[in-house]
Amino acid sequence: MKSIIRFIPLILFVLLGVLLYRGLFLNPQAMPSAMIGKPLPDFSLPMLKATEKQVGRDDLKGNIVLLNVWATWCIQCKYEHPYLLNISRNPRVKLYGLNFTDELSSAMRWLKQYDDPYVFSIFDEQGALGLDIGVFGAPETFVIDHTGIIRKRFAGPINDMVWKKEFLPLIETIEAEMVQGAS
Partner 1 sequence: MQLNMQIGMDKNTLVLPSFLRLVMSVLLLSVLWIGSVSAGPVETFKFKDEATKLRFQILSKELRCPKCQNQNLADSNAKIAVDLRKNLYNLLQEGKTDQEIIDFMVYRYGDFVLYRPQLKKQTYILWFGPIVVILGFALSVIFVLRKRSKGKANELALSSKEQANLDDILNKK
Cα separation, 59 vs 67, in Å, equals 12
The residues of the shown chain that bind partner 1, judged by CB under 8 A, are: 28-29, 31-35, 73, 101, 127, 130-137
In whole angstroms, what is the distance from residue 116 CA to residue 109 CA?
A: 10
For the residues of 47-103, what is the DSSP string, one character each? BSS-TTSEE-GGG--SSSEEEEEE-TT-HHHHHHHHHHHHHHT-TT-EEEEEEES--
Q: Tell me how many degrees the CA angle 4-6-11 measures, rounded to the nearest 5.
A: 75
- Minimum CB–partner distance for residue 120 and partner 1 (Å): 24
- Residue 13 or 176: which CB sits closer to partner 1? 13
| Pick 8 or 161: Cβ nearer partner 1 | 8
CB of 104 to partner 1, least distance (A): 18
The values of phi and psi at residue 120, to 5°, are: -160, 165
Name the residue nearer to partner 1 (CB basis): 119 or 131. Answer: 131
Specify the DSSP class assigned to residue 167: I
Q: Is 27 or 180 the residue whose CB approaches partner 1 more closely?
A: 27
CB of 180 to partner 1, least distance (A): 29
Minimum gap (Å) between residue 136 Cβ and partner 1: 4
